[in-house]
Structure 1
Amino acid sequence: MALDPGIVSAAKERAEDLFARGMYREALSTYEKIKAYGEKDPRIYLRMGDIARKDGDDKSAIAHYKGAASAFGRLGFVIKAIAVCKMIISIDPSEEVVQKKLAEFCAGPGEAQPAPKSGPAPAPQAPVKETPAIKVPKTPLFSDFNEAEFLDVVRKVRSRALKEGECLFREGDPGDSIFLVAEGEVGVEGCARDSSRVRLASLKEGSIFGEFGFFSGSKRASDVRAIKDSVILEITKAEIEEITRTHERVSSILFDFYKERVVDRLMALSEIFKPLSAEERKEMLGRLTLKRFEKGASIAKEGERGETMYLIKSGAVQVWVMDRKGSQKPVATLSEGDFFGEIALATLRPRVATVTALADTELVEFGRDELKDVLVRHPEIKGVLERAIRERVTGAVRARDAENGAPLL
């Protein structure tokens, strides 16, 4: 018989009162009466594990935590399930099998498996009644990994516990990790003009953050601090690079994630792409490609036909022209998050400057067809481009006269 929510709530209150008075076994006994409800509310299993651990019974704690991990995963709380798996392994490292079980039903389908080689037909077997597959709600990033990829990523993930007020990272720190809020809440903080600290955003359970610095290699632009006691999952760029050496497909999954999380936001803020709806941006994102240039490589040349525009994913580029004396004259240095090349691409005019990679650089490439479609749907963008052309032509003239100019192309 299904448990009444009112009975469940009363049992929780009674169990927590017993726990607060140090009566751990009595608290566990009370939770046992509503344990079946844990399939709907995995926090019951989780709390039973916490109490058993407090009582010194690690074996029972692990059993309860396994129930929590399984239930969280089935309900689609994959980040929470991963955090519980990490808790289990911290108690007993030999229990790594829990991560494999999580991967079995939380990972996406991945790539299609190759067809079996031809050979003798297998002997007929009696039909087997299949168990219906568990449909787990999609979780950003993790649901795109197949089972093997999911398992290797989860193995690399580290769990970090933060106390209320504790700082996860500060402005200026290296941006080489992606973070996921498994429990609690963290605040993003910046500095106001009067030097006081201002909360810019609050990130709750299930949030993913830190991806801009992770993909661009830039330093953190703000502080992140725990608003209340929290559990944060972290995976570093070095660990992801190690995984991609075994699973090449992970690179393309991460690029898709980058487009959804970073490029889409930059496009929404760009004067050129601001008129596009979210659905139009999504359609455009699916057609973008990634290009890599080594330090010193020429990306675009003055006078050539502009067939592409770029968004800098990581690295930096130098924009320059030849001045009237035939010497190179720097016009601008562009870095992560900057666009260039859109003027020549949209107007069919030759490029008015040369662009060279100042470091190993990754660029998101937009082709002529993508921008042409945008101009057809949103003719008002032509006005934005015309203003940019006037500004940049003026910049080119100044640069050739040995004065500072604005970004060209």
Structure 2
Amino acid sequence: MAHPTDEAWQLSRQYKDSAAANILQGRPEEALADYRKAVELNPHDSAARIKVAELLAQLGHRQEAIRELHSIAIRYATEGNTLHAIAACKLILALEPQHAETPENLASLIAMRNAEEHPQPNEPEPPGTPLFSRLPKDVFLALLELLEMRRVNGGEHIITEGEQGRSMFMLVTGTVRVVHTPRNAPPRTLAELAEGSFFGELGLISDAPRTASVISIRDCTLLEVTRDMLAQLGARFPTFERMVQQFYKDRLLNNLLESNPVFQPLSGEQKRAIAQRFQTRTVEPGTVLLQQGQRSQALHLLLRGRCSVVHQDPDGGERPYPDMTEGALFGEISLLLDLRVTATVRAATSCLLLVLDQETVKERVLTHPEVRRALTHLSRERLDRTAAMLAEGAEVRGSYLI
């Protein structure tokens, strides 16, 4: 489909505004006509296309609404727009719970696209929705039945910082803002996410509090996956939990390699090669992962669990640092700059970690001059901050050199 011109987009916007006004005034027939004109001008407007189907259903044209939604779902699935396809399919199931044709077609199309676009080793993941594209057809159909579709108004909190998470969200339509509020400081916007984004996935595997709020900027449609859904699917399909763990591992690694200053200078190909070298490690409570005074032998990324961090003073006393939780990276400064660690890190609970060995770091990371510069800068900052806090006897917060 060709993208609309600016003039067509503006006219489409006017028709949608008129449709919204007609809905408020109780004129669904006129609203339907307006939305249909908006879709003619901008066929990419998924929200308007779904409004057409919803108004058809509201006016009693249920089968016509189902046909429209089926067409939307199949078109989006063919184009690789999985989230919009699933949203259309969920609307069909709300109208006709026993409807099987669209879910079956959708599952087949997604599996076909995944087979055609499956990346070879060292190639990037194709665009789309990897959690769904990796699922066998029977698992996908079971998940599709359980998925919840939510609509939120602009300005509404979807996730609230500090609350316990039990869901992951996929943004079908709309835009959201990710906001963190530091202690004794004003809120800070971390990111704005558009259609197709995932957020909150840590809530699927961890009881850790949410580290940021997610607020809708404008009206949004979301798909929600809860931990209870995953438990149901895991009981029916034993391989499903491993798929979710792999999805979470890939997401966390991708975020690390894209956002951490140590890895940012590397090319996409270099990052993908490094990601493949991370190994999974499970440890029991009390396991020492880093020992104060020794050198780190690996870079650690905490996937699940909690680690305690303690600095031992020369007089034998111990000074606790804040615990590390899911997503924490540690050991990188000592490993990459060959420095002794300044604190001992122990597993406070059973932990699942991703570990990058020293050889890989030396061969694939340290050879990049910009990485070494970033490490030198980062280590000086952390060492100065830690030394100042220890000298003053202050409670240690934030980053410290390990």
TM-score by length of 2: 0.72
Aligned with 1:82 (options 81, 86, 105): 86
| SS class of match (1:70) | helix
Q: Which residue of 2 aligns with 1:116?
A: none
Per the alignment, do residues 275 and 19 of structure 1 end up closer, same or farther by CA in structure 2, a change over 3 Å counting?
Answer: closer
Aligned with 2:367 (options 368, 376, 380): 376
Per the alignment, do residues 323 and 155 of structure 1 end up closer, same or farther by CA in structure 2, a change over 3 Å counting?
Answer: same
Partner amino acid, structure 1, of 2:57: R
CA distance in 2, matches of 1:163, 1:386: 43
Shift of 1:392: 6.4
The reply to whether residue 101 of structure 1 matches residue 105 of structure 2 is yes
Q: Which residue of 2 aligns with 1:118?
A: none
CA distance in 2, matches of 1:38, 1:384: 48
| Kept in 2: contact 1:38–1:45 (CA 8 A) | no
Gapped runs of 5+ residues in structure 2?
Answer: 116-125
Shift of 1:77: 1.8
Q: Which residue of 2 aligns with 1:284?
A: 274
Q: Which residue of 1 aligns with 2:143?
A: 153
| Kept in 1: contact 2:15–2:35 (CA 8 A) | no
Partner amino acid, structure 2, of 1:375: L
Shift of 1:83: 1.2
Q: Which residue of 2 aligns with 1:125?
A: none
Shift of 1:354: 4.0
Shift of 1:346: 4.0
| SS class of match (1:160) | strand
CA distance in 1, matches of 2:306, 2:60: 55
CA distance in 2, matches of 1:88, 1:187: 30
Q: Which residue of 1 aligns with 2:118?
A: none
Shift of 1:96: 5.0
Shift of 1:374: 1.0
| Kept in 1: contact 2:208–2:325 (CA 8 A) | no
For the aligned residue pairs, the C-alpha RMSD in angstroms reads 4.8
Partner amino acid, structure 1, of 2:368: R
Partner amino acid, structure 2, of 1:89: L
Q: Which residue of 2 aligns with 1:63?
A: 67
| SS class of match (1:173) | coil
Shift of 1:81: 1.3
Q: Which residue of 1 aligns with 2:194?
A: 204
Q: CA deviation digits over 1:154-173, x for unaligned, max 9?
A: 23321111123332222212
| SS class of match (1:228) | coil
Aligned with 2:285 (options 292, 295, 302): 295
Per the alignment, do residues 255 and 382 of structure 1 end up closer, same or farther by CA in structure 2, a change over 3 Å counting?
Answer: farther
* 1:6-405 aligned within 5 A: 46-107=50-111, 109=114, 138-191=128-181, 200-214=190-204, 217-301=207-291, 306-320=296-310, 330=320, 333-343=323-333, 345-346=335-336, 354-372=344-362, 373-378=364-369, 381=372, 384=375, 388=379
Partner amino acid, structure 2, of 1:64: E
Per the alignment, do residues 306 and 228 of structure 1 end up closer, same or farther by CA in structure 2, a change over 3 Å counting?
Answer: closer
| Kept in 2: contact 1:311–1:337 (CA 8 A) | yes
Shift of 1:148: 2.6
Q: CA deviation digits over 1:55-108, x for unaligned, max 9?
A: 123333223222222222222221111112222222232225532321111136
| Kept in 2: contact 1:313–1:337 (CA 8 A) | yes
Gapped runs of 5+ residues in structure 1?
Answer: 111-135
Moved more, 299-308 or 265-274: 299-308
| Kept in 1: contact 2:150–2:222 (CA 8 A) | yes
| Kept in 1: contact 2:153–2:220 (CA 8 A) | yes
Q: What is the aligned length?
A: 378
Partner amino acid, structure 1, of 2:266: L
Per the alignment, do residues 300 and 49 of structure 1 end up closer, same or farther by CA in structure 2, a change over 3 Å counting?
Answer: same
Shift of 1:234: 0.6
Q: CA deviation digits over 1:211-268, x for unaligned, max 9?
A: 3554554322333233332211110234224434544554454444434433333344
| Kept in 2: contact 1:39–1:71 (CA 8 A) | no
Q: CA deviation digits over 1:280-317, x for unaligned, max 9?
A: 22221122122222333333456777432201223221
Q: CA deviation digits over 1:179-220, x for unaligned, max 9?
A: 111123333344489976665543332222223554554322
| SS class of match (2:218) | strand
| SS class of match (1:141) | helix
CA distance in 2, matches of 1:342, 1:216: 24
| SS class of match (1:309) | strand
| Kept in 1: contact 2:74–2:106 (CA 8 A) | yes
Q: Which residue of 2 aligns with 1:130?
A: none
Identity, in percent, stands at 26
| SS class of match (2:128) | coil
Partner amino acid, structure 2, of 1:364: L
CA distance in 1, matches of 2:160, 2:264: 31
| Kept in 2: contact 1:319–1:407 (CA 8 A) | no
Q: Which residue of 1 aligns with 2:119?
A: none
CA distance in 2, matches of 1:303, 1:190: 34
Moved more, 219-228 or 43-52: 43-52
- Give 1 or 2 for the bigger CA radius of gyration: 1
Partner amino acid, structure 2, of 1:55: L
TM-score by length of 1: 0.71
